[in-house]
Amino acid sequence: MGISQNKQIVREFFEAGNRGEMERCIELLADDISWTDIGTTRFSGTYVGKEELSANLLGPLFGQLKAGIYSTIENIVAEGQVVVVQSRGKAETVDGKPYNNTYCHIIRVREGKIYEVTEYFDTALTNAVFGT
């Protein structure tokens, strides 16, 4: 796949998330996805495989949000298999706290699937909203 196709796959991932189509998001991930959240938050760590990612990151995080995270892509740059996305996320916790974070995702795409993500974000904000 070429650079433009890789960028389109990543765009589709974010757009599906904004529509609340989590099944489509999961379809766009490779079975052996490796997803790393940096820092020392309760969500930080590396999750390998769709099941571990869903059970240990997506479920616990999205279970505390009213309607997921709406992402606005500010910049998307790609070279080869690597797609870098700068974005802003907007969300609200189930108890009404705003969770509006900024992100930089380093994403690798292989054979039409996202197989590696490193997610950089404001960890102090995450700890303030969700606790450590």
- Per-residue pLDDT tens for 21-77? 999 999 999 999 999 999 999 999 999 999 999 999 999 999 999 999 999 999 999
Residue ranges per structural domain of the chain: 3-130
pLDDT in tens, 65-118: 999 999 999 999 999 999 999 999 999 999 999 999 999 999 999 999 999 999
Nearest alpha carbon to residue 30 among 17, 54, 58, 49: 49
Residue 126: its pLDDT value, please? 97
SS3 38: coil
Is the separation of the CB atoms in 30 and 6 below 8 Å? no
N-terminal to C-terminal alpha carbon distance within the chain: 40
pLDDT at 132 over 90: no
Tally helices (H) and strands (E) across the chain. 5, 6
SS3 65: strand
Between CA 81 and CA 66 the distance in angstroms is: 33
Q: pLDDT class for 10, splitting at 50, 70, 90? A: very high
Between CA 56 and CA 62 the distance in angstroms is: 11
In this structure, which amino acid lies at residue 101?
N
Class of domain 3-130: alpha beta
Q: Which residues pair with 87 in a beta bridge?
A: 73, 103
Residue 1: its pLDDT value, please? 73
